[in-house]
Amino acid sequence: MKNKSLIKIAATMILMLSVLAGSCSSGPVTEQQIVAVVQRGDLAVTVRSDGNIEMPNALNLYFDATMFTASYSARIRKIYVQKGDQVHAGALLAKLDDTGQKLTVENAQYALEAAINNVVQTGCCGAGRYPSFYADSVALLRYEFALKEMTTVKGFLYANEYEEAAEQLALAKSDVDGVQSYYTNPDYRKLRIEYNALDQAVESSQDLVTAIDRLSSEIDVISGLQQQITAGQYPDAQQSVQDLLVKMGDTHTIVKRITHLPTSITYPDAPTAYTVVSELTGSLATLQELADSKDFDAVKFSERLSMARHDLELSAKILEENISINRLGVNIKTLRDYNIAIQTAVINLQRAKQALLKTELIAPFDGRVVDVNLQTGDMITQRYTANGVPIDSYIIKLVNTGNVRMAGLVDEIDVVKIKEGQSADIYIDALPGKVLKGTVSFISPYGPIQTRSIPYYGSLQSTLSTYKLEIALDPKDAAYLAAGQTAGAELLIDKHTNVLTVPNSALMGKSGEYYIRVLTDEKTNLIEQRPVKIGLQNESRTEIVSGLTGGEKVLLLKSSAPSRTVKK
């Protein structure tokens, strides 16, 4: 009886395998009947992200009118670029009519001269020297502004902050030009009177002629510097700034010689003297402590003594000057008012220069001009929202086409497998067959939940959170790309080489206990259910560590859901 049962079972199995063999050879094959061959090769686990190409450095450029009046409007004097132009950081792109701003600077200069008038005429030189000292003092101030601005230019150039360098360079040029305008004014030469040591009028020295020549040369050098920055010749600009600062140091000495103010243009006053005296008292107390100390330090004592002597001389000088000024009928309140007036005038002059600078539109980075929205001669009215966002039309749109990235999404299951700095292969729909290289630059820690169905390893996930992923592309590939293009990325998580693999649908069982149906004899259609040990697994194939050999045929199961496709 037992033998008969075994015969029936064997006959049934032979019949089923016969049907299977017939179907594979002649009729349509269903998914349950598909046979696959165990293959040896490489198996890689990747994460897929879909998204778009972005160019983050894309800016609409406006004239910065924040220092102008709320309803400021002006005419565009010139647009220096066209669509498609490649420009460097610091290049001048457009300029407004700056007539009004230049007049404001001149008015600020006059106000500074008027403030200095009170100092020069009342305190140190008398009414007879009035005209020349006003211009001399303002010229010295403005040249010292230029020196400070050029030093700032040098720092910005070495820090690769070229837009800021260009702005400071424009201010320095304005100041040097203002000093030259003072010295070349015919009225200034007529009014200016030189005095010798005996307080006698003499002819003008050669210093004035030398200063004018040097200032003219420095203006030319600054113009050349601006051209170097516009052309992106930054190393040459760095060297030019260093050379110019040396020359300006010599010019500064000449300008100081031309200026006849014997003391600072601001008044010392009694409170200042009292402050110095207070410091002197502290120094004396320290000297006493050093003298009484068991471990007497002669070097420290000498240093402190020198500092105390200096403070004493300084306070005496301040008090003497206050005495001479007070004899002229000037009280402390008046002196402090003079000081405040001069400092206010200096601040207003600086503000006027900043407003003049705002009439220039400077490139903030290297890039390509992709749009010019307004033209030479157009009127603009620059208005802003309460948050400082421009309301009116932009002037120029600039894009840094060398800074390109892909922005995509990954789900919560895959995001934990990715790390910043990881390499990625980028596929562009518009460039079939071309693979670009990139590096993960950002992974968002925040992932809003998506309600759409996402296939994941044969099952549909309906509420996976997704996270933003940014991948920086190699700049050399930027020429192939345009912002907005559809793209996909593959990131390699793990890879095993020269291993046995089978399709995922051949695998049966559960975690830790897997088996595969192996077609051991095609002639007899004998199927063996064989336990296997698996290794690496991706979305389509599984590594077989043991249980199978290369070339064996296995039966596949019907998938419950489509797997995610991966481009190869």
pLDDT of 326 reads: 54
Average pLDDT of the residues in 128-155: 74
Domain spanning 126-260 has what CATH number? 1.20.120.660
Count Cα atoms within 13 angstroms, Cβ side, for 462.
0
When pLDDT is cut at 50, 70 and 90, the band that residue 285 belongs to is confident
Which CATH topology does 47-55+401-494 take? Elongation Factor Tu (Ef-tu); domain 3 (2.40.30)
pLDDT of 192 reads: 55
More confident residue, 106 or 31: 106
The whole-angstrom separation of Cα 350 and Cα 523 is: 98
Average pLDDT of the residues in 329-351: 75
pLDDT of 98 reads: 84
Is residue 516 over pLDDT 90?
A: yes
Is residue 7 over pLDDT 80?
A: no
pLDDT of 503 reads: 93
pLDDT of 2 reads: 41
More confident residue, 357 or 152: 152
What secondary structure does DSSP assign to 491-550, as a single string?
A: EEEEEEEEEEEEEGGG-EEETTEEEEEEEEETTTTEEEEEEEEEEEE-SSEEEEEES--T
More confident residue, 463 or 94: 94
When pLDDT is cut at 50, 70 and 90, the band that residue 128 belongs to is very low
Q: Can you give the length of the chain in residues?
A: 568
The whole-angstrom separation of Cα 208 and Cα 189 is: 9
Is residue 23 over pLDDT 50?
A: no
pLDDT of 290 reads: 74
Is residue 417 over pLDDT 60?
A: yes
pLDDT of 184 reads: 85
Mean of all residue pLDDT scores within the chain: 76
Q: Are 261 and 136 in contact (CB under 8 A)?
A: yes
Average pLDDT of the residues in 510-527: 85
Write the pLDDT tens digit of every residue in 182-238.
Answer: 888 776 665 555 555 555 555 556 788 899 999 999 999 999 999 999 999 999 999
pLDDT of 284 reads: 76
When pLDDT is cut at 50, 70 and 90, the band that residue 6 belongs to is very low
Q: What angle do CA 161, 179, 211 make, to 5 degrees?
A: 105
More confident residue, 131 or 50: 50
Q: Which of 446, 401, 364 is nearest to 86 (CA)?
A: 401
pLDDT of 479 reads: 72
Q: Which of 207, 227, 218 is nearest to 248 (CA)?
A: 218
Write the pLDDT tens digit of every residue in 262-272.
Answer: 444 444 455 55
pLDDT of 566 reads: 30
pLDDT of 474 reads: 84
What secondary structure does DSSP assign to 7-56, as a single string?
A: HHHHHHHHHHHHHHHHHHHTSPPPGGG-EEE-EEEEEEEEEEEEEEEE-S
Whose tokens are 């070097």? That residue is 299
Domain extents in the chain: 2-46+495-555, 47-55+401-494, 58-94+360-399, 126-260, 270-328
pLDDT of 239 reads: 94
Which CATH topology does 58-94+360-399 take? OB fold (Dihydrolipoamide Acetyltransferase, E2P) (2.40.50)
pLDDT > 70: what percent of the chain? 69
Which range, 90-94, 382-386, 458-462, has the best average confidence (pLDDT)? 90-94
pLDDT of 541 reads: 92
Q: Look at 107-116, 238-247, 419-428 and tell me which has the smallest mean pLDDT.
A: 107-116
Q: What angle do CA 459, 465, 466 make, to 5 degrees?
A: 100
pLDDT > 90: what percent of the chain? 27
Is residue 113 over pLDDT 90?
A: no
Assign 184 to helix, strand or coil.
helix
Q: Are 240 and 146 in contact (CB under 8 A)?
A: no
Query: At a CB cut-off of 8 Å and minimum separation 6, what does 17 contact?
Result: 524, 525, 526, 527
Q: Look at 205-214, 234-243, 324-333 and tell me which has the smallest mean pLDDT.
A: 324-333
Whole-structure pTM over 0.85, yes or no? Answer: no
Write the pLDDT tens digit of every residue in 436-468.
Answer: 999 999 998 887 655 455 555 445 555 678 889
pLDDT of 248 reads: 94
Q: Does domain 2-46+495-555 have CATH number 3.40.50.150?
A: no
The whole-angstrom separation of Cα 62 and Cα 360 is: 10
